[in-house]
Chains A and B, each alone.
Chain A
Amino acid sequence: MLEIRNLHVAIEDGSKKILNGLNLTIRDGEVAAIMGPNGSGKSTLSYVIAGKDDYEVLDGEILLDGKNLLEMEPDERAAAGVFLAFQYPLEIPGVATMTFLKAALNAQRKGRGEDELTTPDFMRRVKAGAEKLGIPQDMLKRGLNVGFSGGEKKRMEILQMALLEPSIGILDETDSGLDIDALKIVSEGVNALRSAKRSFLVITHYQRLLNYIVPDTVHVMSKGQIVRTGGKELALELEANGYADYVTNAAA
């Protein structure tokens, strides 16, 4: 279970406050969607959960299964079960995708006090995961994300999530830059990972993604707060009416 209580966050130099007392609870197995206008703090929330140090947490707490994430380094959070699928996955020339996947998987296992995977076991897992997501073998030999299309990068993120088996997967605008076919593949990849133990936080502008990844709850974010919570039908309402109501309300 992920619990965020009264979270206040500013960008590092303290000049601008982005999150203003945000509260959010995601139960085990729950898929929660956060929607909201540009600049409402959605991506900041995902970075703060994952531990990016461009932000200053002024108040509040983030607990994953009772553990205080804010006291952990980003790699410790990953080992504890946090996975952030980046909106813009980074390219790392010179690091073969396979090398990276193995380093990440074994680092997390080490962080959890587990043994490293044997090479055949690792290869088997990667191959199976890649096949499901339509990732060709030669892509795994190339530099991580180097020269990959937007869709390929997002599929690679989902492959990483499948291999790392997090307890919470955060999808930061995973639908951006995807055509409809890629959106389906990525969504299927995510749906295959849904389980009673694993929860998801799906951040998106558009309702479309939520046709494929059907959420249990939908939260509307504005000015750094959750301003409304409902079921999946709330997404449809937002699609019809836009965010204008929330922007004005919050500003008032």
Chain B
Amino acid sequence: MSNITPLKTEAEQALIAQGATVASDRKEAFARFLEHGLPHRRVEAYHYTDLRALLKSAPPPAKAGGKITTTSPLADIDAHVLTVVDGRYDASLSGALPKGASVSASSALADDGSNEKGLLSADPVIALNAAFSDSVLDITIAAKAEIEKPILIRLVTTGAHASYPRVRLNVGDHAKAFIVESHEGAAAGSLIDSVLELRMGDHVTFDHLRLNLVDHAATVLTTFGGAMGKESLYRGHNFVVGGSLSRHQIFFRFEGEQSKAEISSACLLNAKQHADTTLVVDHAVPECQSREFFAHVLDHESTGVFQGKIIVRPGAQQTDGKMMSRAIVLEDGATMNNKPELEIFADDVACGHGATVGALDEDLLFYLRARGLPKAEAEALMLQAFVGEALEKIEHDAIRDTLEAHTEQWLKARSA
């Protein structure tokens, strides 16, 4: 290895200057970031999302007291609302949780999750969050608790600064809950770097919806680490429309047998938006099932990235993993990068992946137009159906309807 120190980018220089202020228990995390700096295209996991090139600047961490000026897109949904403003939990804007669920916030990180037993990989984006996050929101769902209504965590960024939200969720055995992680607000120049860690016990049923509805000019780097015990069900959904530059990392691990995870995503991109989803599903134990379904609609000069890896550890027999990525590219200037991978170290498994990229089917379009639908309307109907395949996996009717309406608006704006 050479000892050449690369030139620091403007964003890196800003982050280094900001690093002077990190708390003493965060110095280690910050050092880990410094070691490599922002990841670039020669780092395999960031090949399609070169943060050194794409992240032009790094705004300072948000000061306390930011005011929320937007309403939640899910404001009409009957839910328990928790609010995190610029990365910090705000009890005054949060409701009480029902019996069986509790919430607390502290500035202590304790464990940044990137160690050997942690849920997260040693990743510079996660290290940055660990260094700058000064409020950790802990949510606990007690064993056997069944939380009827969704818990809506609004993560709002109020301006052109950086926010580093960090949420830890612990779900006890036999518990049932639905969490919505809603990233909202922000502005041109905002940087969001958030981490959500989820630990589920045995016999859990857990639904998790992540929304990226932030300003179209913001940078959104989000990481989700999840682990689950035996005979449990996790259903994760992602809906991405916001951010000029976004990357969502999913690290999911099966730790108990006979569990099932379904992860789906609908990503609608236009203009010059760049959205990356990087997924690692780790079948560490036998007899688990995972289903991953990712749908991208790419208009104008947008770029979509899907990197999905299913790992089957030695001995994880009878693993059943299927991963699918489908993308519709609407304009010549739009790009989709698919990188599906299987790493299988067991011999009795059923794993598969598929990826398609294409334009809207001309024959289908003609069929619809021959029935009287004008071109824009026919395209919208086909795209709505395409996105619908990902959205239909959401079990909550009102939330699914809201996202379908959101999709309809997006399509209307397109043909307007």
Question: CB-CB contacts of B328-366 with A at 8 A, as 1s and 0s?
Answer: 000000000000000000000000000000000001101
Q: A164: which B residues are within 8 A, CB to CB?
A: 371-372
Q: B370: which A residues are within 8 A, CB to CB?
A: 50-52, 74-75, 77-78, 82-84, 86
Q: Answer whether A90 and B363 are a contact pair too, CB < 8 Å, given A95-B381, A103-B377.
A: yes
Verify if B68 is at the interface (C-beta below 8 Å from A): no
Verify if B388 is at the interface (C-beta below 8 Å from A): yes
Give the CA-CA distance A105 to B378 in the complex, in Å: 13
Chain B residues 367-388 with CB under 8 Å of chain A are 367-375, 377-378, 381-382, 384-386, 388
Q: Answer whether A93 and B385 are a contact pair too, CB < 8 Å, given A52-B366, A78-B371.
A: yes
Give the CA-CA distance A82 to B366 in the complex, in Å: 14
Q: B371 touching A94 by the CB < 8 A rule?
A: no
Q: B367 touching A79 by the CB < 8 A rule?
A: no
Q: A103 touching B373 by the CB < 8 A rule?
A: yes
Q: B386 touching A73 by the CB < 8 A rule?
A: no
* Among A53, A78, A86, A143, contact of B372 (Cβ-Cβ < 8 Å): A78
Q: B364 touching A90 by the CB < 8 A rule?
A: yes
Verify if B28 is at the interface (C-beta below 8 Å from A): no
Verify if B389 is at the interface (C-beta below 8 Å from A): yes
Q: A107 touching B372 by the CB < 8 A rule?
A: yes
Verify if A123 is at the interface (C-beta below 8 Å from B): no
Q: A94 touching B373 by the CB < 8 A rule?
A: no
Q: A89 touching B367 by the CB < 8 A rule?
A: yes
Give the CA-CA distance A143 to B389 in the complex, in Å: 11
Number of residues from B at the complex interface, CB < 8 A? 22
Q: B372 touching A92 by the CB < 8 A rule?
A: no
Q: A107 touching B385 by the CB < 8 A rule?
A: no
Q: B388: which A residues are within 8 A, CB to CB?
A: 94
Q: Answer whether A75 and B366 are a contact pair too, CB < 8 Å, given A94-B386, A95-B385.
A: no
Instruction: Give the residue name and chain of the A residue nearest to B389 (CB).
Output: A94
Q: A99: which B residues are within 8 A, CB to CB?
A: 381
How many A-B residue pairs have C-beta atoms within 8 angstroms? Tell me: 78
Number of residues from A at the complex interface, CB < 8 A? 31
Give the CA-CA distance A17 to B389 in the complex, in Å: 41
Q: A75 touching B367 by the CB < 8 A rule?
A: no
Chain A residues 134-166 with CB under 8 Å of chain B are 143, 160, 164
Q: A93 touching B389 by the CB < 8 A rule?
A: yes
Q: A74 touching B386 by the CB < 8 A rule?
A: no
Q: Answer whether A75 and B381 are a contact pair too, CB < 8 Å, given A90-B363, A94-B386.
A: no
Q: B377: which A residues are within 8 A, CB to CB?
A: 103, 107
Q: B374 touching A75 by the CB < 8 A rule?
A: yes
Instruction: Give the residue name and chain of the B residue nearest to A86 (CB).
Output: B367
Verify if A104 is at the interface (C-beta below 8 Å from B): yes
Q: Answer whether A74 and B385 are a contact pair too, CB < 8 Å, given A90-B364, A92-B364, A107-B377.
A: no
Question: CB-CB contacts of A39-65 with B at 8 A, as 1s and 0s?
Answer: 000000000001111000000000000
Q: A78: which B residues are within 8 A, CB to CB?
A: 369-372
Q: B372 touching A100 by the CB < 8 A rule?
A: no
Q: Answer whether A94 and B369 are a contact pair too, CB < 8 Å, given A73-B375, A75-B374.
A: no
Q: A111: which B residues are within 8 A, CB to CB?
A: 372, 374
Q: B392: which A residues are within 8 A, CB to CB?
A: 94
Verify if A108 is at the interface (C-beta below 8 Å from B): yes
Q: B374 touching A104 by the CB < 8 A rule?
A: no
Q: Answer whether A79 and B372 are a contact pair too, CB < 8 Å, given A86-B367, A89-B367.
A: yes
Q: A77: which B residues are within 8 A, CB to CB?
A: 370
Q: Answer whether A90 and B389 are a contact pair too, CB < 8 Å, given A73-B375, A111-B372.
A: no
Q: A95 touching B372 by the CB < 8 A rule?
A: no
Q: A82: which B residues are within 8 A, CB to CB?
A: 370
Give the CA-CA distance A84 to B372 in the complex, in Å: 11
Residue in A52, A74, A90, A103 whose Cβ sees the most chain B Cβ within 10 Å:
A74
Give the CA-CA distance A52 to B368 in the complex, in Å: 11
Q: B378: which A residues are within 8 A, CB to CB?
A: 75
Q: Answer whether A92 and B369 are a contact pair too, CB < 8 Å, given A73-B374, A75-B375, A107-B377.
A: no
Q: A95: which B residues are within 8 A, CB to CB?
A: 381-382, 384-385
24 residue pairs A–B, Cβ–Cβ below 8 Å: A50-B370, A52-B370, A74-B370, A75-B372, A75-B373, A75-B375, A75-B378, A79-B372, A82-B370, A83-B370, A89-B367, A92-B382, A94-B386, A94-B388, A95-B384, A95-B385, A99-B381, A100-B368, A103-B373, A103-B377, A104-B368, A108-B371, A111-B372, A160-B371
Q: Which 3 A-B pairs have the closest CB atoms?
A: A94-B385, A108-B372, A78-B372
